[in-house]
Structure 1
Amino acid sequence: MAPTRAVAATQMIEVDRLDRLLGAIYDGPTESPPWNTALQQMREALSAAHVTLMLRPPSSESHGVMINTGQVTSQGVESYETHFFALDPFVRLPEGEVVTAEELIGSQQWLKSAMYQEYLKPLDIRHLLGADIYTKEGIECRLRITRSDDAEAFSAEDKALVKLLLPHLKRSIRLHAKLDYLECDRQLFAGAVNRMLVGMVTFAQDGSILELNQEAQRILAEKDGIVRSGTGIALSSNHENRDLQRMIRQALTGGPVEEPVEGPSVVEAMSVTRPSGRAKLGIVVRTIPLGEFTGAKQRPAAAVFLRDPESSGTQPSQEVVRRLFGLTRMEAALALLLAEGLTLDEAAEKLNVRRNTARTHLRSIFCKTGVTRQTMLVRMLLNSVISLG
């Protein structure tokens, strides 16, 4: 019985080399750029000039995202992204099929095409092999493999090898999409925490710091009551530091480390004295529960949240306040100054207006927001979404 093409593909490449190639495909989502190693190994296995993965093909709205291996020039990439993608007839290939350009549109038609004559031929590209990947999430990727004019055409065994790798690449691309979605979520929420001026320090199971956000870095850099110490953090006051370390150990274990109490204590809080005499820092320590199937040790196991009551971070956008509450620009500026803790007189002076003018603006703000007192206005502003803008 004649061997199948899949068997022939495995026969043309050593088992350990195929194993490395498959491993590189599944490691691809963790690389930058993704799949660079796998595409390079594929290029070597197929004796190709280039292997390119169009993770997001170019369009009239976007240049797309392409990962290239082999000798490419920025000019060549730019030419395709801005012009030749629209002339490329080698697109929308059948799902799961591996074909050459000549098989798809005919040898003579391909060699006479503008894509070949004006773009590929000047780059010394003669043979083109491809496969397209489509997923139910709406992903459309293109895998393109080339050989030069003096190289042999792609064989049935070459095509069989690519066909063998294709479903693995598709699974890896879907995994990359999920990881990318989670990373977008992470960046969105991390940005929101930063905008709210909350410092966050995450710890691994062994008590070492995994990550600090921007506000946590600022607070620790001041070395005013709290500092980085070894792989963790420490407080200047010995007795406060003992409490903090106990709280962190407790959070890392998911419950009390000393006398058990009714139910696990996974959230604790304390204040931190600052030698400078400034207002005390606030600290909250929380356990980060294990996922149902979590096995990794280098994962966030506990988080310490830091709040500096004197922090003067990025001023919320006046435009956001204006749009949110229907205020004029002057009214929005006054409202923000009052939210910062200034009195009406201090705000009027800063805005370079008379006190009576400021009072007139304040009455208009009350009317538009539905509050009747300055304290209510400040509370409403601080509890609104302006800090996220």
Structure 2
Amino acid sequence: MINGKTLSRLIDSIYQSAITGDWQSSINAIRKYTNSNKIFFVIRDLKTGEPITVEFLASFDYNPDILLHYADVMDEDPWYQLSQLGLEGDVMHLSKLLPVESFKDSNIYKTIFKPMHSYYCLGVVLARNSQYEATFAINRGELSTEYTERDKTLIELLTPHLTRAIKLFINFKTYRNLISIAEITSRNETKAMFLCDENATILKVNSLGNELISSNPSISNIDNKLVITERCINDRIRKIIAENALFSAENITCRQVVILEGGDEKLLLEVMPLVQRYFYSGDYINCVVVTITAENQINWELVTSVYQLTKREIDISQLIYAKRRVADIASSLCLSENTIRTHIQNIYAKLQVKTQTEFIVNLNLFS
């Protein structure tokens, strides 16, 4: 296990990667600290199917044609198949769950695993939602040693930071790539978005923002100001907006989140400083972007009826939807992790989905 000072520097480099968009140094550091011969890291846009970021770093020379071939036969990879049962936040010791010896006679071992020195593997599900998916895997070769619990613990320590950093990276990429202020409030189709000054005055709002104000009693527009009905939350949001506005155009990237619960849904409010001052009423002013995401409650009775899920399967489905890891679900239900994975397979089969991402998209139809 690396020492605390080194771990702190590594975590800091992960968040720096989110800001700069350059993941290579932090990803390669993880490879080195785990004595791995390679690491594969990918963030994929699920709407387009295209990768947002891909990093493949190896300590040995390899034939790039093998990687191209792997892309064609990836679905045949036993470890990839097993990883599809992983939930967001899971660190999976794939080579222990499914040792290479069990498929050493297969074609994929001979054409992919052996020439790429893949014998031991830790796989991680960093993010799985309706918009993007992020995963990474590290490998060691047959002449090396199996990953230990200390290696797995290190990855478990890094996983929540990588997950947060990826979410920051996606948000930064979205906001910083927009050409104009108008696009910030018009192009986003997944969140209610407000452009506000330091006093929470609404300067621009997209269509989802207007819809949210008209339909949700927790959010309102009073005297052209963004107002939260619950006073203590409103005071907190006002303070956050004022503080973040100070960073507008200062090349400082930060993000603060407030969760508002009540009624039939949960609201996630995110505040970020604008990277440029906004010209308004003859002057350039500091602004923030406030995004609000409504997470509707799932009608679990209807889900049970439609898919004929058992009570145990519903319990597990609710925990999967809540982004709990396999280990957490096993602990809370006093079951083994293998039993949970078997239940997940059965649930996915009933819903006719293959991954947590497809599962969440499917269940959102019942909100």
Normalising by structure 1, we get a TM-score of: 0.43
**Higher RCO structure, 1 or 2 (CA under 8 Å, sep 6+):** 2
Normalising by structure 2, we get a TM-score of: 0.46
Structure 1 or 2, whichever has the larger Rg, is: 1
Point out the structure with the larger strand share: 2
